[in-house]
């Protein structure tokens, strides 16, 4: 595990004094400290009680309304590929159209030499602009003679010899987004080229150059179904595994409702930008449909923008970006020039504990918000998205705390606010960024001095019954009642 910035450290205060004092307020952290060791907190102040009751009542009402209005989720496309979110590299953000076979080979080499392939980054994906502007007389897409003089099969052989998989790009319209040939009305021809002739393993399928309505006579579902059907037919006729189908539909026609019928991932938002507002906007949008991700179907939040050396994201913002993408089970595609990647970026991309949640073989679902924080629950706010998230994992409950403020902040939550936490139990706390075990939390957990736009990622494991005799008898005082019928929350 590479070391991240050393100025961020745990506050290793005297835990015995914390227990003895029984304080319900967090200590002030020492200079340079960003995460306080969890404190035993066995009482709730009236303010906490009121906030908890209001938050849970509103959340329950809105969640019920949302469930009534939500269509049944579609069944995932389990065709033998794409069970877990794919990881790798995509050329677009770093190179746009300035790609060639040398760039692809060097990027593939760096995935291996930097140790990224060994951590699961095993797709080397070529984006737009690899082809000639026109199809051949026979109707085929052809690689650029100038950019790829050795041919695509030669290049995919090179990628495969490195132990990597190869990804290619096309579009569901007449043209790609850069006006190279698209695949509309050529789906069967193109998938045979991509999968059999060129031997690619993944297809990113974009949404530009949409045909006129009187030509296509389809909605978005039908337009992308054309390629999905071609992929299934090609796999059946060739006997090869189907190509992994990654839909790039931008989220405007609610692909989280239907795309998992067709492919293994679907874009949930527009393209990512090189600044915090773009990150927070995507997190905000995904807070309303993370429920749709599971095995064989993953909401794609777009390419990962880690530190590029241009100051587009701070170190803390880049950590938050990567953590949110990974824990929401998005595919993890690096979009930085690997020859110029920073030590800090490698520290972020190689966090095996965060990657382990993304690649969990037992639990395929994403984290979801259990409290918005700054805003009332279910608020659609691009600037201040949900702050308190949790989800299941093979090894415990995952918690993500996101500081959306422009200055450091303390963050507090009651453990049982997460639906994956059992009342009356205590939990060991593992920090997934400092890679340290940080004691046991009872009922509540306070994290101090979370950096502006920073993140805390925790793994909580059941550590047995909480100490007996704690008051109040319910950590969440909503209809808390004695067996004799006496309400104790009033």
In the residue annotation, 271 being an active-site residue is answered as: yes
Host H or E run for residue 334: strand 332-334
Tell me which of 11, 271, 381, 489 is the catalytic residue: 271
Q: Distance between CA 448 and CA 409 in Å, rounded? A: 7
Q: What is the DSSP string of 141-168?
A: --B-TTT-TT-HHHHHHHHHHTT-EEEE
485 alpha carbon, distance to own chain's centre: 45
Q: What is the DSSP string of 406-455?
A: SS-EEEEEEGGGSTTS-TTEEEEEEETTTTEEEEEEESEEEEEEEPTT-E
Q: Which residues make beta-bridge pairs with 206?
A: 171
Q: Distance between CA 123 and CA 117 in Å, rounded? A: 9
Q: Which residues make beta-bridge pairs with 409?
A: 450
Tell me which of 128, 206, 360, 431 is the catalytic residue: 206
Nearest to 283, CA basis, from 321, 319, 313: 321
Which ranges of 248-380 would DSSP assign to H, the alpha helix?
A: 276-286, 315-327, 343-349, 352-358
Burial call 311-341: b when 16+ CB within 10 Å, e when fewer: ebbbbbbbbbbbbbbbbbbbbbbbbbbbeeb
In the residue annotation, 171 being an active-site residue is answered as: no
What's the token pair of residue 366? 């994403």
Q: Is 142 exposed, middle or buried (0-12, 13-18, 19+ CB in 10 A)?
A: middle
- Match 């400092």 to its residue by tokens: 434
Q: Which residues make beta-bridge pairs with 111?
A: none
Active-site residue set = 206, 271
């Amino acid at each position: 595990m590479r070391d991240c910035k050393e100025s961020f450290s745990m506050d290793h205060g005297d835990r015995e004094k914390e227990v003895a004092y029984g304080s319900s307020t967090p200590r002030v952290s020492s200079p340079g400290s960003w995460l306080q060791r969890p404190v035993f907190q066995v009482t709730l102040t009236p303010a906490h009680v009121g906030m908890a009751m209001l938050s849970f009542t509103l959340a329950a009402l809105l969640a019920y309304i949302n469930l009534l209005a939500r269509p049944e989720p579609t069944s995932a496309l389990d065709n033998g590929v794409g069970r877990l979110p794919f990881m790798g590299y995509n050329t677009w953000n770093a190179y746009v159209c300035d790609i060639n076979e040398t760039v692809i080979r060097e990027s593939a080499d760096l995935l291996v030499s930097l140790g990224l392939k060994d951590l699961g980054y095993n797709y080397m994906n070529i984006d737009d602009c690899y082809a000639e502007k026109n199809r051949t007389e026979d109707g085929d897409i052809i690689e650029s003679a100038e950019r790829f003089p050795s041919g695509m099969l030669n290049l995919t052989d090179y990628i495969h010899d490195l132990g990597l998989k190869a990804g290619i790009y096309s579009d569901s319209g007449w043209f790609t987004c850069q006006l190279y040939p698209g695949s509309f009305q050529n789906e069967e021809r193109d998938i045979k080229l991509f999968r059999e002739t060129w031997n690619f393993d993944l297809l990113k399928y974009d949404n530009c150059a949409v045909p006129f309505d009187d030509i296509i006579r389809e909605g978005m579902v039908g337009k992308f179904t054309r390629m999905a059907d071609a992929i299934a037919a090609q796999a059946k006729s060739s006997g090869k595994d189907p190509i992994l189908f990654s839909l790039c539909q931008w989220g405007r026609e609610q692909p989280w409702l239907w795309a998992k019928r067709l492919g293994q991932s679907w874009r949930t938002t527009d393209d990512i930008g090189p600044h915090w507002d773009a990150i927070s906007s995507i997190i905000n949008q995904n807070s309303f449909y993370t429920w749709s991700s599971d095995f064989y179907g993953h909401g794609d939040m777009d390419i990962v923008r880690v530190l590029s050396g241009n100051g587009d994201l701070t170190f803390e913002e880049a950590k938050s970006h990567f953590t949110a993408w990974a824990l929401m089970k998005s595919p993890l595609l690096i979009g930085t020039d690997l020859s110029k990647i920073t030590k800090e970026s490698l520290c972020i991309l190689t966090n095996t504990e965060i990657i382990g949640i993304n690649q969990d073989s037992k639990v395929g679902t994403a984290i979801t918000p259990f409290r918005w924080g700054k805003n009332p629950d279910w608020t659609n706010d691009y600037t201040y998205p949900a702050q308190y998230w949790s989800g299941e994992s093979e090894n415990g409950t995952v918690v993500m705390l996101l500081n959306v403020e422009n200055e450091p902040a303390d963050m507090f939550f009651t453990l049982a606010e997460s639906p994956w936490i059992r009342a009356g139990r205590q939990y060991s706390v593992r920090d997934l960024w400092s890679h340290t075990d940080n004691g046991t939390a009872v009922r509540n957990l306070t994290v101090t001095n979370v950096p502006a736009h920073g993140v805390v990622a925790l793994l909580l494991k059941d550590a047995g019954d909480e100490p007996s005799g704690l008051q109040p008898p319910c950590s969440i005082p909503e209809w808390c009642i004695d067996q004799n019928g006496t309400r104790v929350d009033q």
